[in-house]
Amino acid sequence: MTKDEVSKRRDELKKAKEALEQQTLQAQAQINAFEGAIQDCNYWLQALRNIEISEKAATLPLPGMRPEQPANPPPPEPVPQGDGAAN
């Protein structure tokens, strides 16, 4: 090989190396974007789990209640005052 051929080959290799370095930067940027999207999904999945846990806890009976009793019973009926006889 002549000196010119070696120089030309070196220049070609430098260009190829620069192209690969650019592709590496682009690939790393895409990897970072995927990692961010995965983190977003994890955040929303955890938020949904917390909601499910809260909703499930709201339906559990309170301590000391029988399971068939509602967790939030209706208020008692008012008791009539007096003897109930009309005047």
| CA 76 distance to own-chain centroid | 43
Q: What is the pLDDT of residue 57?
A: 81
What is the distance between the alpha carbons of residues 74 and 51, in angstroms, rounded to a whole number?
A: 25
Domain ranges within the chain, ordered by starting residue: 1-56
Location of structure tokens 């949904």 = 48
- Whole-model pTM over 0.85: no
Query: What does the pLDDT look like over 18-53, one tens digit per residue?
Result: 999 999 999 999 999 999 999 999 999 999 999 998
